Structure 1
Amino acid sequence: MNKIETFGIIAAQAARGELSFPTSVNAVLRLQQALNDPDCHLEEAIRLVLAEPQLAARTVALANTSAFNAGGAPITNVRAALTRVGYRNLQMLVASLVVRQFGSRIKDPGLRAKCTQLWEHTAQVAALAQVFARRVTFVNPDTAMFAGIVHEVGGFYLLSRADEFPGLLEQDPERWAELCEDVLTREVARRLALPEPVAEVMFQLRDAWLHMPPASLLDTLLLANLYATVPSPLGRPPAPLPEHGDSALDYLMDEATLHAIIEEAAEISRAMGQALLA
């Protein structure tokens, strides 16, 4: 079976809703469905989180990161953690568990390395998106971080299936992997019940252009991807950054401000990575 046929099979399965998720992902998805219920109250959310020990530990860890608890007293229980991070960020944690679990069944060392790099890229983009949202585009920072976490979900799924087909992701000049990933992104987003504004941005991201001044969730993710130093191991390589003096972004922020944004995002990314991988 050649690559084109294999990509076609994976994409066709996804289009029919035949997504192959690890068992651990299915358990987390059931939790997410409950959290999507507008009538899900705090006590029920706490009970659901406590039923998933890994999620409970990461919720507390996230609540103690600089993004949510800068200089405050340490959070030591799920109730306080959930109150601090909120439902939206709990959903981000759930989504991060899903994308990380896609790599849990990969055996090939090369693919596992790609999956690790993709997660590092994802965490960096999520942190940058949050800071750019607060300081440049003024969209909701929590939504921006969530969008950053899930924006490569199709790539994670493709990596999880590539272990079944040796050589699938090697040298793909005709970019069949990108076409397949686009289909996977739509279907995985639907299965995860991602909010429509976030899902639409994910679908537009690959070929979108940055607007000036940047003011949308899409612009926020484009900026975050532009300044991420860890590239995605999938798809086309990022375009080289211009010298800052030649950048239209000079109209929005000077070099010192950009440096401060990147440094703040790096701190959040490190803390978030530790929390989500604990």
Structure 2
Amino acid sequence: MNDIAFEFVQQLGTELSTGNLKLPAFPDVAVRVKQVLESDDVSADKVAKVVGSDPVLTARLLKVANSNFANRSGAQIKDLRTAVARLGYDLAYSTAVSIAVEQIMDSKSVDTIRDQLKALWQHSVNVSAIAYVIAKNHSNVNPDEAMLAGLLHDIGKYYIYTRAKDHPELFDNPESIEELQKNWHTGIGHAILEAWHFSDDIANTASDHDDLQRVHLGKPDVTDVIITANLCAYWEKLGDDFDWDKVTASQRLNLDHAAIQAILEASGEEIQSIMRALGC
């Protein structure tokens, strides 16, 4: 590790240990959607009112509601209340979160690392779509929760990239930045999601999604789904020789190589539809 990388790691370590991460503000519209969903008298009308205050979220929510995966009847929806009622509150919130992360990513301050962030966002949306399919068809995990977790599981990488942009020398050595991501993004991601007041289950997917031998007692949980979906997103890169029998999460889901291949082939159109709906 060179001196610049070492200095950056020391900085990350100090921020993480002291809880003094320089967090980006979670965009206001997502916060307001979360607040109304947590209220005792939540209704589709109230959610639609909050969504309607943001034209970007309004357009995205209608796009999701009319997408192939959410709209089996083919009847087009043009009003927000019906869209919220069709999608449900959790999926409406996942849509708000997808907009929020994009807004963080699209800041002018990240122009120098936009390509890296775009690739990372593409991966996150892919994992989110695969997680939705796996949760819906092969577990008792709420598929909307799995979708949300998929969108956020790599949030620590966004943080590292946005902090590393102030040290452009780090990007001269791809191996160096990759090592930083590998060693630090999970702990930082967990800290960010806690600070943004996501549930422990969602935060744990950020910290544990790279643990292929994760020990978990009981039924498969959302982290098992995200671990498996994250690997599925690298399906071609992993190749036929990858030993799924060593992945405890996929074993708990009772998914081996052949079963996962069948899922990806059978659900390919649905996965692509979800990704398009979420903005990819």
| Superposition TM-score, scaled by structure 1 size | 0.80
Partner of 2:224: 219
Partner of 1:195: 199
Which amino acid in structure 2 is aligned with residue 16 of structure 1?
G
Partner of 1:235: none
Paired residue total: 266
Report the Cα offset of residue 5 of structure 1: 1.8
Report the Cα offset of residue 69 of structure 1: 0.8
Deviations 1:5-26 (A, max 9, x none): 223334544653443426xx43
The separation in 1 between residues aligned to 2:38 and 2:273, in whole angstroms, is: 29
State the structure with bigger RCO (CA 8 A, min sep 6), 1 or 2: 1
Which amino acid in structure 2 is aligned with residue 218 of structure 1?
T
The separation in 1 between residues aligned to 2:54 and 2:263, in whole angstroms, is: 34
Q: Over the residues paired in the alignment, what is the CA RMSD in angstroms?
A: 3.3
Closer/same/farther in 2, CA of residues 141 and 30 from structure 1, 3 Å limit: closer
Deviating above 6 A after TM superposition, structure 1's stretches of 4 or more consecutive aligned residues are: 210-214, 253-256
Contact 2:127 2:233 in 1 (8 A): yes
The separation in 2 between residues aligned to 1:153 and 1:46, in whole angstroms, is: 27
Pair 1:19-2:22 in alignment: yes
Partner of 2:175: 171
Partner of 2:233: 228
Contact 1:35 1:91 in 2 (8 A): no
The separation in 1 between residues aligned to 2:95 and 2:49, in whole angstroms, is: 16
The separation in 2 between residues aligned to 1:255 and 1:2, in whole angstroms, is: 41
Deviates more, 1:59-68 or 1:156-165: 156-165
Report the Cα offset of residue 191 of structure 1: 2.7
5 Å-filtered alignment, 1:1-278, equals 2-13=4-15, 15-21=18-24, 25-39=26-40, 40-105=42-107, 106-108=110-112, 111-169=113-171, 170-172=174-176, 175-209=179-213, 215-229=220-234, 240-243=238-241, 248=245, 252=254, 258-277=260-279
Which amino acid in structure 2 is aligned with residue 216 of structure 1?
D
Closer/same/farther in 2, CA of residues 174 and 141 from structure 1, 3 Å limit: closer
Closer/same/farther in 2, CA of residues 78 and 264 from structure 1, 3 Å limit: farther
Closer/same/farther in 2, CA of residues 268 and 194 from structure 1, 3 Å limit: farther
Report the Cα offset of residue 253 of structure 1: 6.3
Structure 2 unmatched ranges of 5 or more: none
Contact 1:133 1:139 in 2 (8 A): yes
Deviates more, 1:246-255 or 1:71-80: 246-255
